[in-house]
Chains A and B, each alone.
Chain A
Amino acid sequence: MLLPFFEWCENTVVGSAIRDSLWAFPVIEAVHLVGLCLLGGALLIVDLRLLGVGLTGRSISELSAQARPWLVGAVTLMVATGIPLFLSEAVKCYYNTSFWVKITTLPVALVFTFALRDRWARSPELDTSLRSRLIGAGSIALWLTVAAAGRWIGLSA
Chain B
Amino acid sequence: MVLSILEWLEGTRWSIALLESIWVWPLVESTHVLTLGLFVGTTIMMDLRLLGVTFRQVPVSAFTGRMLPWTRVGFAIMTVTGLLLFYSNPVRYYTNVFFRLKVLVLAIAGFNAWFFHARAHRTVDEWGAEPTPPRAARIAGAVSIVGWTIVVISGRLIAYNWFDCDIQPQPDLINWAAGCVLGAE
Contacts and interface: CB of A to CB of B under 8 A. Distances in A.
Given A26-B160, A29-B156, A148-B30, A36 B67 contact: no
Residue from A36, A45, A54, A70 having most chain B Cβ neighbours under 10 A: A45
Interface in A42-79: 42-45, 48, 53-58, 62-63, 66-67, 69-70
Interface string A96-125: 000000000000000000000000000000
Interface residues of B, number: 34
A119 to B, nearest CB: 21
What DSSP secondary structure best describes chain B's contact surface?
helix
A21 B62 CA distance: 46
A33 B34 contact: no
A54 B66 contact: yes
A131 interface: no
A3 B26 CA distance: 28
B162 interface: yes
A1 interface: no
A45 B37 CA distance: 11
Given A40-B41, A45-B45, A55-B66, A30 B34 contact: no
A57 B66 contact: yes
Contacts of A151: 30, 33-34
A41 interface: yes
A38 interface: yes
Contacts of B41: 37-44
A148 B35 CA distance: 10
Interface in B24-64: 26, 29-30, 33-34, 36-38, 40-45, 48, 54-55, 57-59, 62-63
A58 B156 contact: no
A57 B57 CA distance: 11
Residue from B37, B59, B70 having most chain A Cβ neighbours under 10 A: B37
**Nearest 4 pairs of A and B residues by beta carbon:** A40-B37, A41-B41, A40-B41, A37-B40
